[in-house]
Amino acid sequence: MQIRDALPVDAADVRRVVAAAFGEGRGDHGDEVAALWDDVVAAGHARASLVAVEDGEVVGHVGVSHSWVDARRELVDVLVLSPLSVVPERQHSGIGTALVASAIESARALYAPALFLEGSPTYYGARGFVPGRAHGFLPASDRTPGPAFQVVLFDSHEEWMTGRLVYRDVWWQHDSAGLRDPDLAELEERFG
Ligand SMILES: CC(C)(COP(=O)(O)OP(=O)(O)OC[C@H]1O[C@@H](n2cnc3c(N)ncnc32)[C@H](O)[C@@H]1OP(=O)(O)O)[C@@H](O)C(=O)NCCC(=O)NCCS
């Protein structure tokens, strides 16, 4: 399995992989999430787009894009990891883990002070992420369950660079910040 930068020619494969990962059995948001990433790219907000390739076939993808942290001193350019996708047939074989590690390295190479995401603290906590609120950050939406809001800090992060994460408008156009009921209520009930 090889991880490399996605090329323009990979666009259809990336769409297929994202749609499959978030499709049936995953809330059926496949096409929606694929369209979100397409629009992030079209708007020029993508900072890294990596594909996992096995036997010449794209089986995974991770996207990293621009956001801000609304710090007291000024807006801070930061990055967000999303979406992370592995085709259902190839899940549980370490591809997601390898993509997360590569996304973190890409963010580091871009001199970002921080890389944020919303996701399972069990999954991402074991792969380098820590709770965002522990560093004074607030999620872009109050509908993000506390433990889901996570961050990796890099060397260029300074103490004052804290505040609310502000997504680019594409995320709001796709209603992709936080969760909505009934998923939100279900998670809150499960994790308190
Ligand atoms: C999440 C995802 C990218 C993981 O990819 P993967 O290649 O299967 O991950 P890895 O093989 O590196 O790790 C697998 C482990 O992660 C854990 N895991 C997978 N999905 C998880 C989730 N949603 N929540 C918590 N843990 C999860 C499992 O425990 C699994 O362990 P197992 O193999 O012992 O069962 C993949 O399942 C996927 O594409 N899911 C659908 C889209 C999605 O939910 N993306 C993340 C949104 S934040």
Which protein residue's CA is at the shortest distance from atom 24 of ligand 1?
120
Give yes or no for a contact between 174 and 39, defined as CB atoms under 8 angstroms apart: yes
**Residues 70-90: pLDDT tens digits?**
999 999 999 999 999 999 999
13 burial via Cβ count (<10 Å: 0-12, 13-18, 19+)? middle
Instruction: Report the pLDDT averaged over residues 93-114.
Output: 98
Residue 91 CA to ligand 1 center (angstroms) comes to: 7
**Residues 138-178: pLDDT tens digits?**
999 999 999 999 999 999 999 999 999 999 999 999 999 99
Residue 92 CA to ligand 1 center (angstroms) comes to: 7
Residue 188 binned pLDDT confidence (cut-offs 50, 70, 90)? confident
